[in-house]
Structure 1
Amino acid sequence: MASAHDVAAAVLAEVGRVTAMKLEKLVYYCQGWHLARSGSPLFAEPIEAWREGPVVPLLYRHHRQQLYVSDWPLGDPSRLTDAQRESVRWVAREYGRFSATELSTMTHNELPWRAARGALPESASSSEQLDVDLMRAYYARQMASTETAVAQATANAAIEGEEFDQDWQERLRDVASGLVDADDLIAEEIGRLRG
């Protein structure tokens, strides 16, 4: 099994120089999404529910007092399997565009971090470990087939009093399938409404 050091090195190979906080969040998302996709952890080291979001203490000890990190000599991306490298690439592509603060906010809104912290206020320190099984279940629930995603979006719209016709459902299928970017679809719809 790869170590958190190997994953950190692989993340940096994909995204380049980032803040230490962003590196921590990207490594966390690599673990979560790999758990969901493969059922097994990407690395064995624990992740703790710190005030700023999930942190791998092993990594923190090595980047402590560094604002930016550009390489990780303690890790070797070649130790990752093809499936593990694909998880890292996917996270880098999907989450790499967000800032460290945005990623931290995202993790604060997700169950694995919140459950580990329990009733603690966000400003409190914590070294509680995130539950790997909860991470696996949480991120697995985020993955849905195209038809399930369209059905859920249509049902949510109906709750809000909107109805998606067949044309809209087809457009949603395009987004869920990755054929159309969601931002492009929204811009197209705004343009259509403005006439």
Structure 2
Amino acid sequence: MTAQTVADDILKIAKRRGMSLTPMQLMKLVYISYGWYLAMHNAKLFNDRIEAWKYGPVIPTLYQSTKRFGRNEIPLELIADGPISDPRMEAFYDSIVGNYGQYSGIALSNLTHRQGTPWQQVFKPNVMGIQIPDDLITAHYQQGLDARRTASTPA
């Protein structure tokens, strides 16, 4: 699977919910999906490179395919109707869109900039192309997964 396939599936889910997404929102949702999937399954959701850019984690291949929209929402009429690429992933993507889709691109970017995030650990101003290693992403999202499990466990 590619980051573009994940993005297309997330766009379909958002469209079904009547939501439009900007390229920045979509980028962050694809990254967040990648992080949660790594933590939950100890496997990559896609093989595209993830880099630390000024506004947070960026998947360069996805950036190239969405940059023409600038800060505008990706038009719903450009998003295909129909099933997502892997029906087994539908509930997962739906939970990502449900939990994070209402936040602006800037809010999602701020989320990825917090102290201790994988982006914050590797970002260097004015240095392009720094890859965010999977082990940092896994550790960060595993912490979140562990915190959720602890919170839902009765005392």
Check whether the contact 2:21–2:73 (CA below 8 A) recurs between aligned residues: yes
Q: Which runs of 5+ in 2 are unaligned?
A: none
**AA aligned opposite 1:69:** I
Matched, 1:96 2:104: no
Identity of aligned residues (%): 31
Structure 2 match to 1:134:
136
TM-score, normalized by length of structure 1? 0.66
Closer, same or farther: CA 30–146 of 1 in aligned 2, 3 Å:
closer
Higher Cα Rg: structure 1 or 2? Answer: 1
Question: Which residues in structure 2 correspond to 1:9-28 (within 5 Å)?
Answer: 9-16=8-15, 17-28=20-31
How far apart, CA to CA, are the structure 1 residues paired with 2:149 and 2:9?
33
Matched, 1:112 2:105: no
The offset of 1:77, in angstroms, is 6.3
**AA aligned opposite 1:132:** D
Q: Which runs of 5+ in 1 are unaligned?
A: 152-169, 174-195
Question: Which residues in structure 2 correspond to 1:3-152 (within 5 Å)?
Answer: 3-16=2-15, 17-66=20-69, 67-70=72-75, 71=78, 78-80=84-86, 82=88, 84-109=89-114, 110-117=116-123, 120-121=124-125, 124-144=126-146, 148-149=150-151
Which structure carries more relative contact order (alpha carbon 8 Å, separation 6+)? Answer: 2
TM-score, normalized by length of structure 2? 0.81
How far apart, CA to CA, are the structure 2 residues paired with 1:6 and 1:144?
28
Q: Secondary structure at the match of 1:104?
A: helix
Aligned length: 145
- Kindly report the root-mean-square deviation, in angstroms, between the aligned alpha carbons of the 2 structures: 2.5
The offset of 1:86, in angstroms, is 2.8
The offset of 1:126, in angstroms, is 2.7
